[in-house]
């Protein structure tokens, strides 16, 4: 793992492009030299989409790729912030706080990795797969989406992974079913040294369970509603076996074995 840690900073960024890349998903490319040079795989930026809207909070986004002084973000329109983001055009100016958070850990001596991505969970996997490939690690990617048209970053993954297999809910590409079927098969067949997971939390929980049974270490990138993004406000807590952690600074990547997945039993209110 890269040992140099870059302190987060506020950086003004300029929109380079903003376009649809899959059904319901767009990619915005931002000119952000400082952040692009400092960000590690799995880290995120806290983006201030607009200064003139009635929504005030920043939005956290994984950095999908970082190159040539630019960062790429994949996003789905889900609310006010992403709707405003969709309207951004080249030369618009925004700002990010970044790079933030604790990213993916690539252990020394790893030979074989399984990357499991569900839906927009492909976003933090771009930089990861690039890093794994750089390190000469054999990568199998298992990717799931509702339909073929919603599979993300296919070209990047196909070019860098030894195997890239897919599952779709409607069977329009690959296996008809959940990506967790693929992850179970691959864990059995490939015996990876490390599994990396991002996607809807129930899917992450299932893959984490599969890894625990198989005795393979597993990292998950968790999503939470965030306020400050820098560890102060305690909005984005994750329940772990070592107490409450903050997704923004202790994560978003966690060792799956540390996460208390059964969140039906939250701590009692106000105590």
Total residues binding other proteins (CB under 8 A): 34
Helix (H, G, I), strand (E, B) or coil at 1: coil
Q: Looking at residues 12 to 51 of the shown chain, list those that interact with other proteins (rule: CB under 8 A).
A: 48
267 binds other proteins (CB under 8 A): yes
Q: Which x/- pattern over 52-91 shows residues binding other proteins (rule: CB under 8 A)?
A: --xxxxx---------------------x-----------
**Pairing between strand 70-76 and 65-67?**
antiparallel
Binding status of residue 241 toward other proteins by CB under 8 A = no
Closest CA to 99 of 4, 237, 194: 4
- 60: alpha, beta or left? (left if phi > 0; alpha if psi -120 to 50): beta
Please select the residue that binds other proteins; options are 237, 257, 258, 261, rule is CB under 8 A.
Answer: 237
Minimum distance from CB of 220 to other proteins (Å)? 16
SS3 20: strand
Looking at the Cβ atoms of 112 and 224, the one nearer to other proteins is: 224
* Contact yes or no for 16/103 (Cβ under 8 A): no
* Closest to other proteins by CB, 49 or 253: 49
Q: State which of positions 196-235 bind other proteins (CB under 8 A).
A: 224-225, 227-235
Phi and psi of 7, rounded to 5°?
Answer: -65, 145
In degrees, rounded to 5, the angle at the alpha carbon of residue 78 between the alpha carbons of residues 74 and 80 is: 105
Residues that bind other proteins (CB under 8 A): 7-10, 48, 54-58, 80, 97, 224-225, 227-237, 244, 249, 263, 266-271
């Amino acid at each position: 793992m890269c040992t140099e840690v870059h302190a987060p900073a506020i950086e003004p960024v300029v929109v380079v492009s903003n376009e649809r890349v899959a059904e319901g998903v767009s990619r915005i490319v931002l000119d952000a030299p400082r952040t692009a040079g400092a960000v590690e795989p799995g880290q995120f930026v806290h983006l201030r989409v607009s200064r003139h809207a009635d929504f005030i909070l920043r939005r956290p986004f994984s950095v999908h790729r970082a190159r040539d002084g630019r960062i790429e973000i994949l996003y789905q329109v889900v609310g006010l912030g992403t709707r405003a983001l969709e309207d951004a055009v080249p030369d618009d100016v925004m700002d990010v706080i970044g790079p933030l958070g604790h990213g993916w850990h690539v252990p020394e001596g790893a030979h074989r990795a399984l990357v499991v991505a569900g839906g927009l969970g492909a976003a933090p996997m771009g930089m990861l797969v690039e890093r794994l490939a750089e390190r000469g690690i054999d990568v199998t990617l298992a990717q799931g989406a509702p339909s073929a048209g919603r599979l993300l970053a296919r070209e990047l993954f196909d070019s860098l992974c030894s195997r890239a297999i897919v599952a779709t809910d409607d069977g329009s590409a690959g296996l008809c079913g959940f990506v967790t079927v693929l992850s179970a098969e691959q864990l059995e067949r490939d015996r990876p040294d490390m599994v990396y997971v991002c996607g809807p939390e129930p899917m992450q929980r299932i893959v984490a369970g599969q890894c625990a049974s198989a005795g393979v270490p597993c990292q998950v990138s968790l999503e939470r509603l965030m306020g400050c993004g820098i560890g102060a406000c305690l909005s984005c807590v994750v329940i772990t076996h070592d107490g409450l952690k903050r997704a923004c600074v202790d994560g978003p990547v966690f060792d799956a074995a540390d996460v208390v997945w059964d969140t039906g039993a939250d701590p009692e209110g106000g105590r």
